[in-house]
Amino acid sequence: MYEMTFDAERALLSVTKTGFWSMADLRAFTGAFLTLDRDLRRQHPRYRIFADCRAYSVQSAEVSQAYTEIFDDISTYHQGRFAIVVPSALARMQAQRAMPHAIVNVFTDPDEAMQWLDEPAAA
């Protein structure tokens, strides 16, 4: 369902999400993410996130809405860039519409996503 790894040297959290999630799956991910996020921000307040969602299925309306609400909350304090990689242009448009935040960008190419993450952030 998901895997999270952190590269401290690069201050980069890599998240891979796969499959079709239930609300219980989303709650488990959210709990794990929020715990990790709290710990990471102590040492790396502007850490970046690379989310590989190419094998993450289109989710139910309930899961999608809940994820959007959770992300809206996180975006109020998360300072680092967040790159999301999706499998298609349609998925890219849907993700951009669901998460219209300045720190978020959605890509279909993982190399382009990483390049954007590595660019200096605007002051």
| CA 44 – CA 63 distance, rounded (Å) | 29
| CA 92 – CA 106 distance, rounded (Å) | 6
Give me the residue label for tokens 């999301």: 84
- At residue 9's C-alpha, the angle toward residues 11 and 115, to 5°, is 60
Query: So what's the pLDDT on residue 73?
Result: 87
Query: So what's the pLDDT on residue 80?
Result: 93
Task: Write the single-letter amino acid at 36.
Answer: L
pLDDT digits 0-9 by tens, 80-121: 999 999 999 888 888 888 777 888 999 999 999 999 999 986
Domains identified in the chain and CATH numbers = 2-118 (3.30.750.24)
| CA 105 – CA 82 distance, rounded (Å) | 7
pLDDT digits 0-9 by tens, 59-72: 888 998 898 888 88
Q: What is the pTM of this model?
A: 0.91
User: Mean pLDDT in the chain?
Assistant: 91
pLDDT digits 0-9 by tens, 21-43: 999 999 999 999 999 999 999 99
Query: So what's the pLDDT on residue 99?
Result: 79
